[in-house]
Protein backbone atom coordinates (compact mmCIF):
# COMPACT_ATOMS: atom_id res chain seq x y z
CA UNK A 1 0.00 0.00 0.00
CA UNK A 2 1.43 3.30 -1.08
CA UNK A 3 0.92 6.83 0.23
CA UNK A 4 -1.22 8.74 -2.25
CA UNK A 5 -4.03 11.34 -2.35
CA UNK A 6 -6.65 8.82 -1.18
CA UNK A 7 -4.62 7.19 1.65
CA UNK A 8 -2.52 10.08 2.93
CA UNK A 9 -4.82 10.92 5.87
CA UNK A 10 -4.62 7.42 7.31
CA UNK A 11 -0.85 7.43 6.84
CA UNK A 12 -0.53 10.86 8.42
CA UNK A 13 -2.52 9.71 11.48
CA UNK A 14 -0.41 6.60 11.84
CA UNK A 15 2.67 8.77 11.33
CA UNK A 16 1.87 11.10 14.24
CA UNK A 17 0.91 8.13 16.38
CA UNK A 18 4.29 6.59 15.63
CA UNK A 19 2.68 3.42 14.36
CA UNK A 20 4.52 3.23 11.05
CA UNK A 21 7.58 1.27 10.20
CA UNK A 22 10.73 3.07 9.27
CA UNK A 23 10.09 2.44 5.53
CA UNK A 24 6.53 3.76 5.82
CA UNK A 25 7.74 6.85 7.63
CA UNK A 26 10.20 7.57 4.80
CA UNK A 27 7.36 7.03 2.30
CA UNK A 28 5.18 9.61 4.11
CA UNK A 29 8.01 12.15 4.32
CA UNK A 30 8.78 11.65 0.61
CA UNK A 31 5.07 12.17 -0.23
CA UNK A 32 5.04 15.50 1.65
CA UNK A 33 8.21 16.66 -0.09
CA UNK A 34 6.74 15.85 -3.46
CA UNK A 35 3.30 17.28 -2.50
CA UNK A 36 3.90 20.33 -0.22
CA UNK A 37 0.20 21.23 -0.10
CA UNK A 38 -0.35 18.22 2.25
CA UNK A 39 2.31 19.48 4.65
CA UNK A 40 -0.18 21.84 6.35
CA UNK A 41 -2.60 18.95 6.88
CA UNK A 42 0.13 16.92 8.55
CA UNK A 43 1.02 19.97 10.64
CA UNK A 44 -2.62 20.41 11.75
CA UNK A 45 -2.81 16.74 12.75
CA UNK A 46 0.46 17.08 14.66
CA UNK A 47 -1.08 19.99 16.59
CA UNK A 48 -3.71 17.58 17.98
CA UNK A 49 -0.98 15.80 19.91
CA UNK A 50 -1.07 16.75 23.58
CA UNK A 51 1.97 18.53 24.89
CA UNK A 52 3.63 16.46 27.59
CA UNK A 53 2.99 17.93 31.00
CA UNK A 54 4.29 16.77 34.35
CA UNK A 55 1.91 15.72 37.08
CA UNK A 56 3.50 14.70 40.35
CA UNK A 57 1.86 12.29 42.72
CA UNK A 58 2.64 13.67 46.15
CA UNK A 59 3.41 11.44 49.09
CA UNK A 60 4.66 8.49 47.09
CA UNK A 61 5.85 7.11 50.41
CA UNK A 62 2.24 6.21 51.12
CA UNK A 63 2.34 3.81 48.20
CA UNK A 64 5.52 2.03 49.26
CA UNK A 65 5.07 -1.43 50.66
CA UNK A 66 7.42 -3.74 52.53
CA UNK A 67 7.21 -7.39 53.34
CA UNK A 68 7.50 -6.63 57.05
CA UNK A 69 4.20 -4.81 56.80
CA UNK A 70 2.58 -8.02 55.66
CA UNK A 71 3.82 -10.11 58.57
CA UNK A 72 1.08 -12.56 59.43
CA UNK A 73 0.53 -15.22 62.05
CA UNK A 74 -0.28 -18.85 61.38
CA UNK A 75 -3.96 -19.68 61.30
CA UNK A 76 -3.50 -22.28 64.04
CA UNK A 77 -1.90 -19.68 66.28
CA UNK A 78 -4.68 -17.24 65.46
CA UNK A 79 -7.25 -19.84 66.41
CA UNK A 80 -5.54 -20.27 69.76
CA UNK A 81 -6.12 -16.56 70.37
CA UNK A 82 -9.84 -16.73 69.75
CA UNK A 83 -11.99 -16.18 72.79
CA UNK A 84 -15.62 -16.79 73.33
CA UNK A 85 -17.59 -14.34 75.33
CA UNK A 86 -19.52 -15.82 78.21
CA UNK A 87 -23.23 -15.94 77.58
CA UNK A 88 -24.97 -13.64 79.99
CA UNK A 89 -28.62 -14.42 80.56
CA UNK A 90 -30.30 -11.26 81.58
CA UNK A 91 -33.51 -11.82 83.54
CA UNK A 92 -36.56 -10.13 82.13
CA UNK A 93 -37.51 -8.01 85.10
CA UNK A 94 -41.01 -6.67 85.15
CA UNK A 95 -42.27 -4.26 87.73
CA UNK A 96 -45.17 -6.49 88.67
CA UNK A 97 -42.99 -9.54 89.26
CA UNK A 98 -40.52 -7.46 91.22
CA UNK A 99 -43.30 -6.05 93.43
CA UNK A 100 -44.73 -9.53 94.05
CA UNK A 101 -41.30 -10.94 94.88
CA UNK A 102 -40.56 -8.05 97.24
CA UNK A 103 -43.88 -8.43 99.06
CA UNK A 104 -43.38 -12.19 99.42
CA UNK A 105 -39.88 -11.63 100.79
CA UNK A 106 -41.18 -9.01 103.24
CA UNK A 107 -43.91 -11.36 104.46
CA UNK A 108 -41.40 -14.16 104.90
CA UNK A 109 -39.09 -11.90 106.92
CA UNK A 110 -42.01 -10.77 109.09
CA UNK A 111 -42.99 -14.40 109.61
CA UNK A 112 -39.47 -15.28 110.69
CA UNK A 113 -39.41 -12.32 113.02
CA UNK A 114 -42.74 -13.36 114.56
CA UNK A 115 -41.47 -16.91 114.99
CA UNK A 116 -38.39 -15.63 116.74
CA UNK A 117 -40.51 -13.46 119.03
CA UNK A 118 -42.79 -16.37 119.84
CA UNK A 119 -39.84 -18.61 120.65
CA UNK A 120 -38.41 -16.09 123.12
CA UNK A 121 -41.79 -15.60 124.74
CA UNK A 122 -42.24 -19.39 125.03
CA UNK A 123 -38.93 -19.80 126.80
CA UNK A 124 -39.93 -17.24 129.44
CA UNK A 125 -43.32 -18.90 130.03
CA UNK A 126 -41.72 -22.33 130.24
CA UNK A 127 -39.24 -21.04 132.80
CA UNK A 128 -42.09 -19.64 134.83
CA UNK A 129 -44.03 -22.90 134.69
CA UNK A 130 -41.07 -25.03 135.72
CA UNK A 131 -40.34 -22.64 138.58
CA UNK A 132 -43.88 -22.92 139.92
CA UNK A 133 -43.89 -26.69 139.54
CA UNK A 134 -40.71 -27.09 141.55
CA UNK A 135 -42.05 -24.77 144.21
CA UNK A 136 -45.15 -26.94 144.59
CA UNK A 137 -43.07 -30.09 144.71
CA UNK A 138 -40.84 -28.56 147.33
CA UNK A 139 -43.77 -27.65 149.51
CA UNK A 140 -45.03 -31.17 149.29
CA UNK A 141 -41.65 -32.58 150.32
CA UNK A 142 -41.44 -30.08 153.18
CA UNK A 143 -44.81 -31.05 154.48
CA UNK A 144 -44.05 -34.76 154.32
CA UNK A 145 -40.75 -34.26 156.14
CA UNK A 146 -42.41 -32.23 158.83
CA UNK A 147 -44.99 -34.90 159.36
CA UNK A 148 -42.27 -37.55 159.52
CA UNK A 149 -40.34 -35.48 162.09
CA UNK A 150 -43.42 -35.23 164.19
CA UNK A 151 -44.06 -38.95 164.15
CA UNK A 152 -40.48 -40.14 164.64
CA UNK A 153 -39.39 -37.36 167.14
CA UNK A 154 -35.87 -36.60 165.88
CA UNK A 155 -33.15 -35.02 168.04
CA UNK A 156 -33.19 -31.26 168.64
CA UNK A 157 -29.90 -30.68 166.77
CA UNK A 158 -31.19 -32.23 163.62
CA UNK A 159 -34.46 -30.34 163.84
CA UNK A 160 -32.60 -27.05 164.09
CA UNK A 161 -30.38 -27.82 161.14
CA UNK A 162 -33.34 -28.94 159.08
CA UNK A 163 -35.25 -25.81 159.99
CA UNK A 164 -32.31 -23.69 158.90
CA UNK A 165 -32.04 -25.54 155.62
CA UNK A 166 -35.75 -25.23 154.97
CA UNK A 167 -35.65 -21.53 155.78
CA UNK A 168 -32.92 -21.15 153.17
CA UNK A 169 -34.95 -23.15 150.71
CA UNK A 170 -38.00 -21.00 151.26
CA UNK A 171 -35.94 -18.01 150.35
CA UNK A 172 -34.99 -19.66 147.12
CA UNK A 173 -38.53 -20.62 146.23
CA UNK A 174 -39.65 -17.04 146.69
CA UNK A 175 -38.26 -16.35 143.22
CA UNK A 176 -41.20 -17.11 141.02
CA UNK A 177 -39.48 -17.11 137.64
CA UNK A 178 -36.21 -18.88 137.19
CA UNK A 179 -34.42 -20.48 134.25
CA UNK A 180 -34.29 -24.20 133.95
CA UNK A 181 -30.67 -24.46 135.06
CA UNK A 182 -31.46 -22.64 138.28
CA UNK A 183 -34.31 -24.98 138.92
CA UNK A 184 -31.99 -27.90 138.55
CA UNK A 185 -29.62 -26.27 141.01
CA UNK A 186 -32.45 -25.84 143.47
CA UNK A 187 -33.47 -29.46 143.12
CA UNK A 188 -29.90 -30.58 143.76
CA UNK A 189 -29.68 -28.31 146.76
CA UNK A 190 -32.90 -29.79 148.03
CA UNK A 191 -31.56 -33.26 147.64
CA UNK A 192 -28.43 -32.35 149.53
CA UNK A 193 -30.50 -30.80 152.25
CA UNK A 194 -32.45 -33.97 152.51
CA UNK A 195 -29.19 -35.80 152.87
CA UNK A 196 -28.87 -34.39 156.33
CA UNK A 197 -31.67 -36.61 157.35
CA UNK A 198 -29.97 -39.71 155.94
CA UNK A 199 -26.68 -38.95 157.70
CA UNK A 200 -28.45 -38.90 161.04
CA UNK A 201 -28.68 -42.18 162.90
CA UNK A 202 -32.47 -41.96 162.85
CA UNK A 203 -33.98 -43.27 159.67
CA UNK A 204 -36.60 -41.06 158.11
CA UNK A 205 -38.12 -43.75 156.00
CA UNK A 206 -36.77 -42.62 152.60
CA UNK A 207 -35.11 -45.40 150.64
CA UNK A 208 -31.29 -45.42 150.69
CA UNK A 209 -30.91 -46.09 147.00
CA UNK A 210 -32.20 -42.63 146.02
CA UNK A 211 -29.52 -40.87 148.07
CA UNK A 212 -26.69 -43.27 147.47
CA UNK A 213 -25.53 -41.43 144.35
CA UNK A 214 -25.16 -38.06 146.04
CA UNK A 215 -21.85 -37.17 147.65
CA UNK A 216 -21.42 -36.23 151.28
CA UNK A 217 -18.56 -33.75 150.66
CA UNK A 218 -20.72 -30.81 149.45
CA UNK A 219 -21.84 -28.53 152.22
CA UNK A 220 -25.44 -27.32 152.01
CA UNK A 221 -24.56 -23.84 153.31
CA UNK A 222 -22.31 -23.05 150.35
CA UNK A 223 -24.96 -24.04 147.82
CA UNK A 224 -27.57 -21.87 149.42
CA UNK A 225 -25.23 -18.87 148.94
CA UNK A 226 -24.93 -19.61 145.23
CA UNK A 227 -28.68 -19.87 144.82
CA UNK A 228 -29.32 -16.48 146.38
CA UNK A 229 -27.34 -14.79 143.55
CA UNK A 230 -30.15 -15.26 140.97
CA UNK A 231 -32.44 -12.31 140.40
CA UNK A 232 -35.92 -11.95 139.09
CA UNK A 233 -36.21 -11.45 135.31
CA UNK A 234 -37.01 -7.92 134.29
CA UNK A 235 -39.97 -8.35 132.02
CA UNK A 236 -40.67 -4.66 131.76
CA UNK A 237 -38.02 -4.20 128.97
CA UNK A 238 -40.09 -6.31 126.64
CA UNK A 239 -42.83 -3.71 126.69
CA UNK A 240 -40.73 -1.13 124.89
CA UNK A 241 -38.92 -3.50 122.50
CA UNK A 242 -40.46 -4.40 119.16
CA UNK A 243 -38.97 -7.23 117.08
CA UNK A 244 -38.90 -6.64 113.33
CA UNK A 245 -37.54 -9.84 111.82
CA UNK A 246 -34.40 -10.51 113.89
CA UNK A 247 -33.83 -6.82 114.74
CA UNK A 248 -34.77 -5.22 118.00
CA UNK A 249 -36.22 -1.73 117.79
CA UNK A 250 -36.40 0.44 120.85
CA UNK A 251 -39.81 2.07 120.69
CA UNK A 252 -38.76 4.92 122.98
CA UNK A 253 -36.05 5.99 120.53
CA UNK A 254 -38.31 5.40 117.57
CA UNK A 255 -40.95 7.54 119.22
CA UNK A 256 -38.44 10.38 119.42
CA UNK A 257 -37.80 10.12 115.65
CA UNK A 258 -41.52 10.11 114.85
CA UNK A 259 -41.96 13.19 117.01
CA UNK A 260 -39.22 14.99 115.10
CA UNK A 261 -40.71 14.06 111.73
CA UNK A 262 -44.14 15.07 112.94
CA UNK A 263 -42.82 18.43 114.08
CA UNK A 264 -41.36 19.02 110.63
CA UNK A 265 -44.71 18.46 108.97
CA UNK A 266 -46.40 20.63 111.55
CA UNK A 267 -43.92 23.38 110.84
CA UNK A 268 -44.67 23.26 107.11
CA UNK A 269 -48.33 23.33 107.82
CA UNK A 270 -48.02 26.36 110.09
CA UNK A 271 -45.87 28.13 107.46
CA UNK A 272 -48.53 27.58 104.82
CA UNK A 273 -51.22 28.84 107.16
CA UNK A 274 -49.18 31.92 107.96
CA UNK A 275 -48.71 32.62 104.27
CA UNK A 276 -52.44 32.40 103.70
CA UNK B 1 7.49 -9.35 41.31
CA UNK B 2 9.57 -8.65 44.38
CA UNK B 3 9.19 -5.97 46.98
CA UNK B 4 11.98 -4.01 45.33
CA UNK B 5 10.32 -4.26 41.90
CA UNK B 6 7.08 -3.01 43.35
CA UNK B 7 8.68 0.01 45.04
CA UNK B 8 10.60 0.80 41.85
CA UNK B 9 7.29 0.63 40.00
CA UNK B 10 5.91 3.19 42.43
CA UNK B 11 8.79 5.54 41.68
CA UNK B 12 8.53 5.10 37.92
CA UNK B 13 4.79 4.95 37.30
CA UNK B 14 2.92 6.70 40.11
CA UNK B 15 3.15 10.10 38.41
CA UNK B 16 2.14 8.71 35.01
CA UNK B 17 -0.90 6.85 36.32
CA UNK B 18 -1.91 9.88 38.33
CA UNK B 19 -1.59 12.16 35.30
CA UNK B 20 -3.65 9.81 33.15
CA UNK B 21 -6.46 9.64 35.70
CA UNK B 22 -6.46 13.28 36.75
CA UNK B 23 -6.57 14.45 33.11
CA UNK B 24 -9.56 12.20 32.59
CA UNK B 25 -11.68 12.87 35.65
CA UNK B 26 -10.19 16.27 36.55
CA UNK B 27 -10.51 15.73 40.26
CA UNK B 28 -7.28 15.49 42.22
CA UNK B 29 -8.46 13.68 45.34
CA UNK B 30 -10.50 11.11 43.45
CA UNK B 31 -7.53 10.57 41.13
CA UNK B 32 -5.28 9.97 44.14
CA UNK B 33 -7.73 7.44 45.54
CA UNK B 34 -7.83 5.58 42.24
CA UNK B 35 -4.05 5.50 42.02
CA UNK B 36 -3.80 4.22 45.56
CA UNK B 37 -6.29 1.47 44.81
CA UNK B 38 -4.37 0.48 41.69
CA UNK B 39 -1.11 0.16 43.59
CA UNK B 40 -2.83 -1.71 46.37
CA UNK B 41 -4.07 -4.27 43.87
CA UNK B 42 -0.63 -4.52 42.35
CA UNK B 43 0.84 -5.26 45.77
CA UNK B 44 -1.75 -7.88 46.55
CA UNK B 45 -1.19 -9.61 43.20
CA UNK B 46 2.54 -8.97 43.01
CA UNK B 47 3.40 -12.65 42.87
CA UNK B 48 1.40 -13.15 39.67
CA UNK B 49 2.44 -9.92 37.91
CA UNK B 50 5.45 -9.82 35.62
CA UNK B 51 7.68 -6.87 36.56
CA UNK B 52 7.95 -5.87 32.89
CA UNK B 53 4.18 -5.69 32.58
CA UNK B 54 3.60 -3.93 35.86
CA UNK B 55 3.10 -0.57 34.16
CA UNK B 56 0.35 -1.78 31.81
CA UNK B 57 -1.18 -3.72 34.76
CA UNK B 58 -1.31 -0.48 36.76
CA UNK B 59 -2.86 1.48 33.88
CA UNK B 60 -5.39 -1.29 33.27
CA UNK B 61 -6.48 -1.39 36.89
CA UNK B 62 -6.55 2.39 37.14
CA UNK B 63 -8.54 2.72 33.90
CA UNK B 64 -11.21 0.26 35.08
CA UNK B 65 -11.35 1.96 38.45
CA UNK B 66 -11.86 5.24 36.64
CA UNK B 67 -14.66 3.78 34.50
CA UNK B 68 -16.39 2.55 37.66
CA UNK B 69 -15.92 5.97 39.15
CA UNK B 70 -17.48 7.63 36.10
CA UNK B 71 -20.37 5.15 36.02
CA UNK B 72 -21.15 5.90 39.63
CA UNK B 73 -21.82 9.44 38.44
CA UNK B 74 -19.02 11.03 40.34
CA UNK B 75 -17.18 14.15 39.32
CA UNK B 76 -15.70 14.19 35.88
CA UNK B 77 -16.10 17.63 34.29
CA UNK B 78 -15.85 19.93 37.27
CA UNK B 79 -13.19 22.54 36.93
CA UNK B 80 -13.23 23.53 40.60
CA UNK B 81 -10.92 20.83 41.87
CA UNK B 82 -8.47 20.78 39.00
CA UNK B 83 -7.39 23.96 37.24
CA UNK B 84 -5.97 22.64 34.02
CA UNK B 85 -5.54 26.08 32.43
CA UNK B 86 -3.27 27.24 35.23
CA UNK B 87 -1.21 24.08 34.95
CA UNK B 88 -0.80 24.57 31.24
CA UNK B 89 0.20 28.19 31.76
CA UNK B 90 3.41 26.93 33.28
CA UNK B 91 4.17 25.33 29.98
CA UNK B 92 3.89 28.57 28.02
CA UNK B 93 0.25 29.51 28.20
CA UNK B 94 -0.34 29.27 24.51
CA UNK B 95 -3.82 30.00 23.41
CA UNK B 96 -3.80 27.13 20.99
CA UNK B 97 -2.97 24.70 23.76
CA UNK B 98 -5.87 25.96 25.82
CA UNK B 99 -8.18 25.40 22.89
CA UNK B 100 -6.76 21.91 22.48
CA UNK B 101 -7.30 21.09 26.14
CA UNK B 102 -10.86 22.33 25.96
CA UNK B 103 -11.42 20.29 22.82
CA UNK B 104 -10.04 17.14 24.46
CA UNK B 105 -12.36 17.61 27.42
CA UNK B 106 -15.27 17.65 24.99
CA UNK B 107 -14.36 14.18 23.71
CA UNK B 108 -16.13 11.14 25.06
CA UNK B 109 -14.29 9.24 27.85
CA UNK B 110 -13.05 6.47 25.55
CA UNK B 111 -11.61 8.87 22.96
CA UNK B 112 -10.13 10.99 25.68
CA UNK B 113 -8.43 7.98 27.31
CA UNK B 114 -7.12 6.86 23.93
CA UNK B 115 -5.54 10.24 23.23
CA UNK B 116 -4.08 10.49 26.72
CA UNK B 117 -2.59 7.01 26.67
CA UNK B 118 -1.14 7.56 23.25
CA UNK B 119 0.25 11.06 23.70
CA UNK B 120 1.33 10.95 27.33
CA UNK B 121 2.43 7.38 27.77
CA UNK B 122 3.29 6.52 24.17
CA UNK B 123 1.53 3.16 24.26
CA UNK B 124 1.04 1.28 21.01
CA UNK B 125 -2.40 0.50 19.67
CA UNK B 126 -2.04 -3.04 20.90
CA UNK B 127 -1.09 -2.00 24.43
CA UNK B 128 -3.89 0.54 24.54
CA UNK B 129 -6.28 -2.20 23.40
CA UNK B 130 -5.09 -4.41 26.25
CA UNK B 131 -5.49 -1.66 28.79
CA UNK B 132 -8.90 -0.54 27.60
CA UNK B 133 -10.13 -3.98 26.64
CA UNK B 134 -10.48 -3.03 22.96
CA UNK B 135 -9.19 -4.58 19.75
CA UNK B 136 -6.28 -2.97 17.98
CA UNK B 137 -8.46 -1.94 15.04
CA UNK B 138 -11.00 -0.39 17.42
CA UNK B 139 -8.26 1.62 19.04
CA UNK B 140 -7.04 2.78 15.65
CA UNK B 141 -10.49 3.80 14.42
CA UNK B 142 -11.55 5.53 17.64
CA UNK B 143 -8.26 7.34 17.96
CA UNK B 144 -8.25 8.54 14.37
CA UNK B 145 -11.79 9.86 14.77
CA UNK B 146 -10.69 11.73 17.89
CA UNK B 147 -7.70 13.24 16.07
CA UNK B 148 -9.80 14.42 13.15
CA UNK B 149 -12.33 15.93 15.54
CA UNK B 150 -9.59 17.81 17.36
CA UNK B 151 -8.10 18.94 14.03
CA UNK B 152 -11.48 20.33 12.97
CA UNK B 153 -11.83 22.28 16.22
CA UNK B 154 -8.32 23.63 16.01
CA UNK B 155 -8.75 24.69 12.37
CA UNK B 156 -12.02 26.37 13.29
CA UNK B 157 -10.26 28.28 16.05
CA UNK B 158 -7.46 29.32 13.67
CA UNK B 159 -9.98 30.63 11.15
CA UNK B 160 -11.79 32.64 13.85
CA UNK B 161 -8.56 34.07 15.27
CA UNK B 162 -7.27 34.93 11.80
The pTM (predicted TM-score) of the whole model is 0.51
* CB–CB contact A44 B122 (8 Å): no
pLDDT tens for A7-47 read 899 999 999 999 999 999 999 999 999 988 999 999 989 98
Q: What percent of chain A has pLDDT over 90?
A: 15
Q: Which residues of A touch B99 (CB under 8 A)?
A: none
Q: Does B99 touch chain A (CB under 8 A)?
A: no
The three-state secondary structure class of A8 is: helix
The rounded mean pLDDT for chain A is 71
Closest partner CB to A64 (pick from B7, B148, B150): B7
Q: Which residues of B touch A63 (CB under 8 A)?
A: 10, 14, 35-36, 39
CA atoms within 13 A of residue B131's CA, in its CB half-sphere: 31
Q: Does A72 touch chain B (CB under 8 A)?
A: no
Residue A146 pLDDT: 75
Closest partner CB to B3 (pick from A48, A49, A67): A67
The three-state secondary structure class of A79 is: helix
DSSP A186-238: HHHHHHHHHHHHHHSSS--S--THHHHSS-SSS-HHHHHHHHTT-----GGGG
CB pairs under 8 A between A and B: 78
Residue B126 pLDDT: 93
Three state DSSP letters for B11-70: HHHHHHHHHHHHHHHCCHHHHHHHHHHHHHHHHHCHHHCCHHHHHHHHHHHHHHHHHHHH
Residue A247 pLDDT: 72
Q: Do A52 and B119 touch, CB atoms closer than 8 A?
A: yes
Residue B139 pLDDT: 95
* Number of neighbours of residue A31 by Cβ within 10 angstroms: 20
State the best of B4, B8, B13, B15 to mutate against chain A, taking most chain A CBs within 10 Å: B15
> How far is residue A230's CA from residue A223's CA, in Å, rounded to a whole number?
12
* CB–CB contact B19 A16 (8 Å): no
* CB–CB contact A65 B32 (8 Å): no
Average confidence (pLDDT) over A126-150:
76
Supply the angle between the helices A95-152 and A180-199 in degrees, to the nearest 10: 10
Q: Is A74 exposed, middle or buried (0-12, 13-18, 19+ CB in 10 A)?
A: exposed
- Report the chain A residue with the minimal C-alpha distance to residue B14: A57
- Report the chain B residue with the minimal C-alpha distance to residue A69: B3
Q: Which residues of A touch B140 (CB under 8 A)?
A: 19
Residue A57 pLDDT: 84
Measured CA to CA in angstroms, residue A36 lies from A3, A42, A153, B92 at distances of 14, 10, 182, 29
CATH numbers and ranges of domains, chain B: 1-82 (1.10.1740), 89-162 (1.10.10.10)
State the smallest CA–CA distance between residue B130 and chain A in angstroms: 16
Q: Does A68 touch chain B (CB under 8 A)?
A: no
Average confidence (pLDDT) over A249-253:
71
Residue A17 pLDDT: 92
Provide the Cα torsion A122, A124, A126, A127; round to 10°.
Answer: 160
Closest partner CB to A66 (pick from B3, B118, B147): B3
Q: Is the pLDDT of residue A200 over 80?
A: no
Q: Do A127 and A179 touch, CB atoms closer than 8 A?
A: yes
Average confidence (pLDDT) over A216-240:
57
* Number of neighbours of residue A247 by Cβ within 10 angstroms: 10
Residues 73-92 of B with CB under 8 A from A: 87-88, 91
If you compute the radius of gyration of chain A from its CA atoms, what whole number of angstroms results?
A: 61
Q: Do B149 and A23 touch, CB atoms closer than 8 A?
A: no
Q: Do A230 and A175 touch, CB atoms closer than 8 A?
A: yes
pLDDT under 50 in chain B at which residues? 78-81, 85-86, 88-92
Measured CA to CA in angstroms, residue B50 lies from A9, A176, A191, B42 at distances of 38, 115, 120, 11
pLDDT tens for A157-183 read 444 444 544 444 444 444 444 444 454
ipTM above 0.90, yes or no: no
Q: Do B22 and B70 touch, CB atoms closer than 8 A?
A: no
Measured CA to CA in angstroms, residue B151 lies from A16, A41, B103, B147 at distances of 13, 9, 9, 6
> How far is residue B17's CA from residue A191's CA, in Å, rounded to a whole number?
122
Q: How far is CA A3 from the centre of its chain?
A: 104
If one compares A127 and B147, the residue with the highest pLDDT of the two is: B147
Amino acid sequence: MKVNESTYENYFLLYIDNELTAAEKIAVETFILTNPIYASILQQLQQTKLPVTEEVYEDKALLYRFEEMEAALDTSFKQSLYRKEAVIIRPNFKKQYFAIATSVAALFILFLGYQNFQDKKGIVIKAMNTGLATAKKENQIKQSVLTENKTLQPSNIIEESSNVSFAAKEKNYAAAILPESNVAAIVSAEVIANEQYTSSPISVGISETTYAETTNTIQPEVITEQITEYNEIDTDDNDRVVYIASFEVDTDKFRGITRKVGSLFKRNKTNKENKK
Amino acid sequence: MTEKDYNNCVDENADGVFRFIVKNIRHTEDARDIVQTAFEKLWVNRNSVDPYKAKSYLFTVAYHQMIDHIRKGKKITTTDSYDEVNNSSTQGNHELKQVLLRAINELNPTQKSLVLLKDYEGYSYQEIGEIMNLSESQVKVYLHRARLLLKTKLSHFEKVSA
